[in-house]
Structure 1
Amino acid sequence: MSRYGQLNQMVAAHFPGARLLSFEVLSGGVSANVARLDIALSGGSTRSIILREHGVTHDGHNLDVEFALLNTLNSAGLAVPKPLARDDSQTLLDHPYLLLEFVEGSTEIPAEQVDARISIMAEHLPSIHAVPTASLPPLPRIIDPVPELLEVIPDHPEWSKLMQGARALTNTAYDGEPVLLHCDFYPRNILWNEEGAIEAVIDWEDASIGDPLFDVACTCLELRYLHGKPGEQSFREAWERHHTIEPMRFALWQAYAAAWGLENMGNWKLEASTEQAMRQEALDTISEAANIIGC
């Protein structure tokens, strides 16, 4: 059966009497295959939905957790796509999948609006952290940066001082109330409307519970990948207008995020020049963090 025929069959199973009009594969996904489906409903109206299919490289939450999380966040009023259906039978499609409401918006940021959008991101992230964790499905915990860092730092003489410095630290775990973490909060996981406001935050497959500084550190690194050191500094300054940052724990989380990136970005389907530039930013981030850690 053709891909169109397969998707048309799936649409009819979830929306009786509906048929597929067209579909568009969306770029940007690494562990999930994402497409926009335009469908004609039985009553004659049309609707757009998002298909999020867990591919063979998927390593995030399973369907039940991802569906429950999105449903809870949507019910809590958070700007996320509403989940519509899920199926892990692999009878309709080759892989487990979610169907989500389509949210109009763009992940692109005009160059002249970068700083303004970064400030909006810093203002929005606390709303994610404020979601009551008791209402969430079971999620991984990210509390202490040291064991996370030691797990991903390569066993190589170049990194030995950083490893020794991290091992010598004590009381590095976050001792506050654990919060909901997106774990990949950066511009390309944000849908913006034409006025520059956030319509939805997408890609919750790595969401966890833990130290809010982990989200801050990851966002700073992602913005550094996209916009260089000024991007990181812009977010940090916007964040610190309302929140404090504990320098040592922040440096440990940044070193971890950068080391994890170095280990995994070869799987992100990047252009060679982009990957080379990102690797250099990650190395510089680790070097700067090591200076703060005292290595």
Structure 2
Amino acid sequence: MTTDHPASADAADAADTDAGTGPPGLDLGRLRTHLDAERPGLAAAPLTGRLIEGGKSNLTYAVTDGASRWVVRRPPLGHVLATAHDMRREFTVLRALHPTAVPVPEPLLLCEDDAVLGAPFYVMEHVDGVPYRTAAQLARLGEDRTRRIVLELVDTLVALHSVDPEAAGLGDFGRPDGFLERQVRRWGKQLAASRSRDLPGIDELHERLGAALPASGPAAVVHGDYKLDNVLVGDGDAITAVLDWEMSTLGDPLTDLGLLLMYSGQQDPDSPVAALGGAPGYPSTDELTARYAQGSGRDVSSIAWYTAFADFKLAVIAEGIHYRYTLGQTVGTGFDRIGSLVPRLIEQGLTTLQEG
């Protein structure tokens, strides 16, 4: 569950820091020195920075020299799951997609030298736009605007899945053959790496998903965490940027649709994840599925499996965040409630599989 909003920094979301210090995980002095060496002239004055709240996985900061603005992304400070916080992966897919019809921020610099900030990181352009994180935010827009934005979210997903990976330079970005089997196995391993308590039903959900793998259609570039609060919406309700590419790969595109449907079905205002599906005007999951099917031409008859897999995947991510919280290795607010989400997701996944 990575609800980062890396390309737009709202002043209400973060606190400014003095030049040269920076929030945890961002040494502004070392960053400026590195920028001067690698991109001379990019920064014209001492930097100030702020942590952009909202993200529960990678850390995201807004940085400025007083005239220009950028965004910095790096892994969390503590417990890091293998392959789950790959800065090179994010940077690579942004660089490949930036010239396409998929709206993404322009990546500017990748640094894999831990000596600079203590972990790999990358810098990208700042993009104007609003990340809609709550049903209350959407309610203020009204039903028509909410409906238009969410349908455009689906259309943008269709555009992403229409990108030719070879033409975009992403032909070796993943291994589509056996993708679903590896995904189920991978997330089982991620669970084992983060499990610190008893989670009734999660092993059953994992086993049932592995026993009922659907046949995948043509492979595509997969975002991995596609939902409304991982995009920015700008003037005219257009999507100005799709964010948070840390789990992107080549694979079965219906995993993106299943995840979007799972998030869209969240309507509990007390949930630790954005319950945007309860906003007036938000289209039903059936309508979203039909819109995607019409735009992409893909077979969506097995979508229940993909939605249940999304429940399992988010449960594992949330459990990892809960584990880091118990170790005192999280930065920001809202982490204390993440652990309560996991049992609900397990139950949802089992129910979806049974009813599907």
Shorter-chain TM-score bucket reads 0.7 to 0.9
Q: Which residue of 1 aligns with 2:75?
A: 54
Q: Per the alignment, in what secondary structure is the counterpart of residue 24 of structure 1?
A: strand
Q: Which residue of 2 aligns with 1:262?
A: 315
**Cα contact 1:162–1:290 (8 A) shared by 2:** no
Given the superposition, is the C-alpha separation of residues 164 and 12 from structure 1 closer, same or farther in structure 2, using an over 3 Å criterion?
Answer: closer
Deviation at 1:274, TM superposition (A): 6.1
Matched, 1:132 2:164: yes
Say which of 198, 218, 227 aligns to 2:275.
227
Q: Which residue of 2 aligns with 1:286?
A: 350
- Runs of 4+ in structure 1 off by over 4 angstroms are 142-151, 153-169, 228-233, 269-275
Residue identity over aligned pairs, in percent, reads: 20
Amino acid at match of 1:47: S
Say which of 17, 28, 31 aligns to 1:7.
31
Q: Which residue of 1 aligns with 2:61?
A: 35
In 1: Cα distance, 2:260 partner to 2:184 partner: 17
In 1: Cα distance, 2:107 partner to 2:308 partner: 34
Cα deviations by residue, 1:220-264 (Å, 9 ceiling, x for unpaired): 1122333376679624413303516533x3222222221222233
Q: Which residue of 2 aligns with 1:182?
A: 223
**Cα contact 1:123–1:239 (8 A) shared by 2:** no
In 2: Cα distance, 1:157 partner to 1:80 partner: 39
**Cα contact 2:130–2:234 (8 A) shared by 1:** yes
Given the superposition, is the C-alpha separation of residues 6 and 122 from structure 1 closer, same or farther in structure 2, using an over 3 Å criterion?
Answer: same
**Cα contact 1:86–1:99 (8 A) shared by 2:** yes
Cα deviations by residue, 1:47-102 (Å, 9 ceiling, x for unpaired): 11111123443643644433222111012242001111111122332211111011
TM-score by length of 2: 0.68
Q: Per the alignment, in what secondary structure is the counterpart of residue 304 of structure 2?
A: helix
Gaps of 5+ in 2: 1-19, 22-26, 193-197, 267-273, 326-333
In 2: Cα distance, 1:21 partner to 1:168 partner: 53
In 2: Cα distance, 1:82 partner to 1:26 partner: 18
Q: What is the total number of aligned residue pairs between the two structures?
A: 284
Gaps of 5+ in 1: 41-45
Given the superposition, is the C-alpha separation of residues 129 and 61 from structure 1 closer, same or farther in structure 2, using an over 3 Å criterion?
Answer: farther
Superposition RMSD in Å: 3.3
Q: Which residue of 2 aligns with 1:110?
A: 138
Q: Which residue of 1 aligns with 2:290?
A: 240
**Cα contact 2:184–2:210 (8 A) shared by 1:** no
Deviation at 1:196, TM superposition (A): 1.5
In 2: Cα distance, 1:229 partner to 1:116 partner: 14
In 2: Cα distance, 1:164 partner to 1:26 partner: 37
Q: Per the alignment, in what secondary structure is the counterpart of residue 51 of structure 1?
A: strand
Matched, 1:205 2:246: yes
> Aligned ranges for residues 16-27 of structure 1 at < 5 Å?
16-17=40-41, 18-27=44-53
**Cα contact 2:98–2:106 (8 A) shared by 1:** yes
Q: Per the alignment, in what secondary structure is the counterpart of residue 340 of structure 2?
A: helix
Cα deviations by residue, 1:19-48 (Å, 9 ceiling, x for unpaired): 2342121123333221111125xxxxx211
Q: Which residue of 2 aligns with 1:78?
A: 102
Cα deviations by residue, 1:145-179 (Å, 9 ceiling, x for unpaired): 4664476499998578767765665x7221x3211
In 1: Cα distance, 2:210 partner to 2:223 partner: 27
Higher-Rg structure is 1
In 2: Cα distance, 1:184 partner to 1:80 partner: 14
